[in-house]
């Protein structure tokens, strides 16, 4: 609903829209059907499926039609004693009727016809031999007052209405009739809907979203990003967990902790998963009646879906997979015995439509002995990202996470449009661009070799106050590692600061070679392995002690370029170890010595 249309006035009350106001939506289904059934539930199922295919989920839809035993006015619950508010077409602004009395009256003409489909556009012409094909003939079996005609649905000859703006009076519901084996549209009406207060959301973007990516266009609106635009972030958690709990709050707490450990605080995060009692679509608040904007990975630029309909659809492939973790990089491989370890198996308990996995009464939701897994991998197609296989819930796999609704703030000390870094000859060029600045004293440019510990390498003077775009740059000539991380901290005149996202640079321009770099974090006991390969494929990592005894082995999926893998060496004895990387045939391709 566009509550700003028609001067912002509710046509039912005559005053401005307010929370609690009710209304209904109506459409002429894009698909065409025969009118051979005498069961009204058959027609209700048709329009429900049409609505859900257009992402209008979480709402009950009813056919505006009559059989011999059920009148349309009763099927839709629009008896004269009800107060449902006004009726609108699916463009969200065109008023079909201000109330029930108008809806079942005969005064319809012009744009008051139900001549838009579930997507808010003119439906294609149905194939009907009554001579009214060009007028979007629609089966109704109904009179203009909402009761069954003498030729109801299921009758050998069934009453047709015309979904066309030139249809006058009661022609929208009763204009002619035809043999019920022909194909025509159906009208649909939603249950009573209620205007709710704007859902709570975070007036922030965490510094992750890169609004300059994808041509600077918001994929949800099709125009440039603007203050107030909403969106969500999603990731595949780096950590792995069991799926033994039946409480969705346990999984929400897990991904919340993962996000906060990566610095994404002040935002609520939810597990994209279903238990037997809570569906993922409800846990994440992504039902069809909500508006959340587009969905992005944590690199801030990769579009997962332009809207919820795409998110809970089946068309996923390639880069649309949720295959980056909370830090915007590929997660390490989880330990799961389902055979999908190399694909970053992820517990979901969920089908592609966002509801718990329940196939022929075989529920495999989170907490079930066998739980559905998705694959956090770019090669997963269709609904495999969320439902590919199942495994015993005591195994360890990743979890998907989704942020609450985020929005572009209306006021920011610094509106960061872009921040990036790239190799230029033997140097790294770091550039960032601001759209507006308020009380901005300076920027601190920081550098790290492990993505965790940063040091300041430059202090860049800010513009103070500005409403014009400003570009900044810095050249780092001290290049001593193959991988370097950069971030900027903006500092106000009052000393308050904001840390923006971290970017990673591979300083070795030649990807057609192998390399292996090892970083140890003594406090956590974790060892990060950076390996670079010239082509996609399976690789073997083996660790030997000083006498040549194998102490660790794992298969890795390598994507051309730089990859990351992490292991916990806290239980390894102190000493010298040899890390060996080999291809899938077992041929060693590079080796490194490491002292713990």
The secondary structure of 71-108 as a DSSP string is -HHHHTT--TT----EEE-TTSS-EEESSHHHHTSS--
Q: What is the pLDDT of residue 134?
A: 65
Instruction: Quote the CA–CA distance of 574 and 375 in Å, as a whole number.
Output: 36
Tell me what pLDDT residue 223 has: 82
Query: Does pTM surpass 0.75?
Result: no
As a whole number of angstroms, the distance between CA 276 and CA 279 comes to: 8
The encoded tokens of residue 550 equal: 């194998």
Contact present, 349 and 256 (Cβ < 8 Å): no
CA 328 from centroid of its chain's CA atoms: 16
pLDDT at 243 over 90: yes
Tokens of 591: 């080796």
User: Cα–Cα distances in Å, from 396 out to 129, 276, 331, 357, 377?
Assistant: 60, 20, 14, 19, 17
CB neighbour burial string for 404-431, b if at least 16 within 10 angstroms, e if fewer: bbbbbeeebbbbbbbbbbeeeeeebebe
Q: In 425-560, where do the E strands start and end?
A: 427-448, 455-466, 470-476, 483-492, 497-499, 503-506, 515-521, 526-533, 537-545, 550-558
Question: d(Cα 398, Cα 380) in Å, to the nearest integer?
Answer: 15
Residue 275 has pLDDT above 60, yes or no: yes
Tokens linked to 9: 């006035």
Cα–Cα distance measured from residue 139 to residue 160, given in angstroms and rounded to the nearest whole number: 5
| DSSP assignment string, 215-266 | GGB-TTTSSB--TT-EEEEEEE-SS-B------HHHHHHHHHHHHHHTT--S
Within the chain, which residue ranges are assigned CATH 2.60.40.10? 412-506, 515-595
**Each residue's pLDDT tens digit, 477-514:** 877 677 888 999 999 888 888 888 888 887 764 445 56
Domain with CATH 3.10.100.10 in the chain: 5-194, 213-406
Q: Which CATH architecture has domain 5-194?
A: Roll (3.10)
Provide CB contacts within 8 A for 58, sequence distance 6+: 281, 287, 288, 289
What are residue 584's DSSP bridge partners? Answer: none
> How many angstroms separate the Cα of 440 from the Cα of each of 437, 443, 460?
6, 8, 11
Please tell me the predicted confidence (pLDDT) of residue 37.
Answer: 96
Output the average pLDDT for the chain: 82
Give the residue from 25, 41, 211, 197 showing the smallest Cα distance to 119.
Answer: 25
- Residue 385 pLDDT class (50, 70, 90 cuts): confident
The per-residue pLDDT for range 108-135, each reduced to its tens digit, is 433 458 888 888 888 876 656 556 656 7
- Burial (CB < 10 A; 0-12, 13-18, 19+), residue 517, is middle
Dist CA 99 CA 361 (whole Å): 42
* Side-chain-side CA neighbours of residue 155 (13 Å): 21
Confidence of residue 255 (pLDDT cuts 50, 70, 90): very high
Mean pLDDT of 373-385: 81
The string of pLDDT tens digits covering residues 466-478 is 777 889 999 988 7
pLDDT exceeds cutoff 60 at 338: no
Q: What is the distance between the alpha carbons of residues 135 and 130, in angstroms, rounded to a whole number?
A: 11
| Superfamily designation of domain 412-506 | Immunoglobulins (2.60.40.10)
Query: Which residues, in sequence order, are bridge partners of residue 476?
Result: 428
- SS3 of 422, please? strand
Instruction: Check residues 383 and 236 and name the one with the higher pLDDT.
Output: 236
Q: Is 40 helix (H, G, I), strand (E, B) or coil?
A: helix
Could you tell me what percent of the chain has a pLDDT over 70?
Answer: 84
CATH superfamily of 213-406: Mannose-Binding Protein A, subunit A (3.10.100.10)
Neighbours of 288 (CB within 10 A): 19
Tell me the pLDDT tens digit for each residue of 410-456: 555 677 888 888 888 778 899 998 877 888 899 999 988 878 888 89
Of 248-252, 458-462, 591-595, which range is least confident? 591-595
Would the pLDDT of 373 be above 70?
Answer: yes
pLDDT exceeds cutoff 80 at 105: no
pLDDT digits (tens, 9 = 90+) for 556-573: 888 776 677 778 887 788
Rounded Cα–Cα distance for residues 245 and 83 (Å): 44
Yes or no: is domain 515-595 CATH 2.60.40.10? Answer: yes
Query: Running DSSP on this structure, what letter comes out for residue 116?
Result: -
Q: What are the pLDDT digits (tens) for 182-210?
A: 888 999 999 988 876 554 455 555 668 88
């Amino acid at each position: 609903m566009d509550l700003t249309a028609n001067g912002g006035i509710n046509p039912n009350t005559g005053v401005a829209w307010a929370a609690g106001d009710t209304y209904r939506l109506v459409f002429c289904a894009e698909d065409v059907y025969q009118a051979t059934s005498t069961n009204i539930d058959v027609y209700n199922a048709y329009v429900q499926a049409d609505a859900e295919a257009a992402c209008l989920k979480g709402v009950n839809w009813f056919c505006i039609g009559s059989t011999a035993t059920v009148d349309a006015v009763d099927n839709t619950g629009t008896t004269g004693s009800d107060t449902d508010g006004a009726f609108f077409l699916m463009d969200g602004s065109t008023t079909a009727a201000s109330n029930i009395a108008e809806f079942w009256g005969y005064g319809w003409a012009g744009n008051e016809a139900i001549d838009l489909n579930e997507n808010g556009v003119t439906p294609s012409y149905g194939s009907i031999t009554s001579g009214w094909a060009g007028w979007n003939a629609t089966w109704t079996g109904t009179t203009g007052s909402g009761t069954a005609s003498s030729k109801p649905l299921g009758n050998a000859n069934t009453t047709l209405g015309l979904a066309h703006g030139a249809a006058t009076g009661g022609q929208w519901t009763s204009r002619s009739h035809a043999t019920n084996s022909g194909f025509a549209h159906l009208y649909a009406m939603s249950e009573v809907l209620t205007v709710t207060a704007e859902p709570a959301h975070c007036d922030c973007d965490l510094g992750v979203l890169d609004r300059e990516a994808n041509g600077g266009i918001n994929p949800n609106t099709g125009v440039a990003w603007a203050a107030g635009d909403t969106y969500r972030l999603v990731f595949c958690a780096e950590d792995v967990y069991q799926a033994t709990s039946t409480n969705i709050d346990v999984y929400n707490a897990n991904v919340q902790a993962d996000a906060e450990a990566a610095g994404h605080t002040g935002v609520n995060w939810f597990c994209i998963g279903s238990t037997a009692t809570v569906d993922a679509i409800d846990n994440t608040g992504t039902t069809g009646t909500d508006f959340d904007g587009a969905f992005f990975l944590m690199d801030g630029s990769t579009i997962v879906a332009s809207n919820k309909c795409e998110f809970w659809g089946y068309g996923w492939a390639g880069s649309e997979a949720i295959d980056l973790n909370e830090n915007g990089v590929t997660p390490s491989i989880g330990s799961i015995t389902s055979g999908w370890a190399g694909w970053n198996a992820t517990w979901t308990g969920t089908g592609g439509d966002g509801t718990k996995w329940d196939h022929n009464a075989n529920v495999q939701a989170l907490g079930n002995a066998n739980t559905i897994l998705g694959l956090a991998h770019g090669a997963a197609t269709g609904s495999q990202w969320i439902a590919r296989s199942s495994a015993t819930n005591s195994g360890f796999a990743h979890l998907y996470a989704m942020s609450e609704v985020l929005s572009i703030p209306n006021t920011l000390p610094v509106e960061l449009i872009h921040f990036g870094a790239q190799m230029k000859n033997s140097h790294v060029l770091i550039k960032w661009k601001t759209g507006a600045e308020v009380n901005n004293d300076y920027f601190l440019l920081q550098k790290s070799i492990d993505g965790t510990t940063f040091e300041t390498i430059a202090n860049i003077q800010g513009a103070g106050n500005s409403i014009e775009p400003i570009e900044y740059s810095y050249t780092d000539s001290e290049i001593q590692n193959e991988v370097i991380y950069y971030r900027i901290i903006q500092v106000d005149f009052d000393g308050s600061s904001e840390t923006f996202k971290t970017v990673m640079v591979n300083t070795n321009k030649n990807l057609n070679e192998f390399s292996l770099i090892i970083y140890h974090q003594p406090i956590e006991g974790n060892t990060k392995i950076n390996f670079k390969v010239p082509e996609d494929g399976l690789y073997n990592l083996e660790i030997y002690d000083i006498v040549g005894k194998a102490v660790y082995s794992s298969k890795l999926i390598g994507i051309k370029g730089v990859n990351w893998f992490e292991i916990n060496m806290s239980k390894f004895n102190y000493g010298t170890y040899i890390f060996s990387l080999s291809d899938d045939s077992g041929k060693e391709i590079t080796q490194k010595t490491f002292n713990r």
